[in-house]
Chain A
Amino acid sequence: MKYYSYFPGCCMHEETPMYDSSARAVAKALDVELIELDDWNCCGSTPYTVVDELAAFCCCARNLALAEKRGFDLVAACSDCYLILSRTNQHFQHYPEIRAKITEALAAGGLEYHGTVRVRHILDVFANDISSDEIKSRVKVDLSNLKVAPYYGCQVVRPAPSFDDLENPQSLDRLTESLGAKVVPYPLKARCCGGSLILSEDEIVLGLIRKLLENAQANSADLIVTVCPFCQVNLDAYQGAVNRRFKTNFHIPVLFFTQLMGIAFGIDRKTLGLHHNIVSADKILKTLVKV
């Protein structure tokens, strides 16, 4: 059994409950214990950093301080949470003035942080802490007819070098292959989906989403798997808007990689939250997946 502190992030209560439920189910199947951090708060994301950087760091530092008490690696499922928490850690270690200010602010809430928590992304955990043989041994369903485009997005691999290449990452490719599915080339795999600017600059962001969908289709992908809630929402919930705006006809299901893992492990549809996916994967899974 491997133990981790788990930081779900706001998206899991809002747009992507299926990421949360599938991640927990897959973890259980792999003897990984994801212990949710008690009383965690929002990471503040990029917007808070822009408005008040110190407050944004303190927002994250509270979560880091809570995780430090428990002592395990802190695992985030959302790439933005992962980046913002890691960034707080880095600034805490590199800038003594920032460290002093964060320490003072945390004290106002009766907390202290010493900078010892290691922040991880859940892709890193499933792709690197679990061996591919172990993954293969859990696979019960044949995915060999399924062509998958592995989509990383930006913030899981950048800016700081961590567990994968900055521009041409491979961990999700390897993991998808271990599940028995076919991985198609996906040159835009680490390009940005536009994130929350879909609300303020939708014209521009719809164009970015279109490129990502086009690239997957051009490489004959049956579906896209992703590791970030923002990517999933943009590619899934706004796929219809892209079709209307550009007169295209995309119908590409966008699953979380943990949902695909769950399908391979034979976990039931409801637990994996496949009914939450807006572009339904049912037809493709019915025709291409043999139980």
Chain B
Amino acid sequence: MVTAKVHGVNDFIQEISAMPGGEKINLCIQCGTCSASCPNANKMDYTPRELIALARAGMRDEVLSSNTMWLCLSCYLCTVRCPRGIVPTYIMHALEHLSMRHYRTRPRVRTARLYRLFSDTVHAFGMIPRLGCMMAYFLQTNPLKALRMIRPALGLLTHGRMPIKAHKLEPEPMKQLKAILDKAEAMGGL
């Protein structure tokens, strides 16, 4: 409960409720339907139900340093089953976003690197060229792990499913997309 005292109980929950999809977090009745539905609940530091309880107790650091939201697959099974109409998937996305800001220089989990890389690539090319993206990701995280991915990657490559040449948006539409995205980023998010 130390965290709650430092940051204030309501700050954190208000931060989450202010994000689209996070509004209903306070309606949670702790029934655990989300955790029972989640394919990855048993791999998480805290189950989705526990994470919501921690967030409501204002335990910001515990929540944002956990691996829970980063194991969310965005399969929305919790969301369609929640009896209170909460959207746990969007709450997970919101927590991922906050965690990313919290640990900007040293993300705690690999998925954060992957997500950042994907979004930077969309911003730069308007598309996601897979080969370049995968190579950059493994160089940034664990080049040795790339060895485990070599066989699936070769399978894709030899079946004409991983073009060497990156597919990009044409210069004119790219200019338009960039103008839109730069403007969006300048507005500083939602």
Contacts and interface: CB of A to CB of B under 8 A. Distances in A.
Interface string B119-135: 10011001111100010
Given A41-B169, A52-B189, A166-B80, A58 B184 contact: yes
A100 to B, nearest CB: 10
A152 B130 CA distance: 24
A108 B111 contact: no
Interface stretch (B2-10, B26-34, B53-61, B160-168): B160-168
A275 to B, nearest CB: 7
B43 interface: yes
A278 B159 CA distance: 7
Most buried by A among B76, B137, B145, B172: B76
A199 B114 contact: yes
A84 to B, nearest CB: 10
B151 interface: yes
B97 interface: yes
Contacts of B190: 53-54, 97-98, 101
B106 interface: no
Given A111-B176, A158-B76, A199-B134, A58 B155 contact: no
B39 interface: yes
14 contacts: A10-B167, A14-B167, A42-B126, A47-B114, A51-B116, A54-B187, A59-B122, A107-B183, A108-B179, A110-B176, A200-B113, A200-B137, A233-B156, A240-B155
Interface of A: 10, 13-17, 39, 41-42, 44-59, 61-62, 91, 95, 97-98, 101-102, 104-111, 154-155, 158-159, 166-167, 191-192, 194-197, 199-202, 204, 208, 233, 237-238, 240-241, 275-278
Given A17-B161, A241-B152, 5 more contacts: A52-B184, A53-B190, A192-B39, A200-B110, A277-B159
Interface of B: 19-20, 39-40, 43, 71, 73-77, 79-80, 87, 89, 93, 96-97, 100, 109-111, 113-116, 118-119, 122-123, 126-130, 134, 137, 141, 145, 148-149, 151-152, 155-156, 159-163, 167, 169-170, 172-173, 176-177, 179-185, 187, 189-190
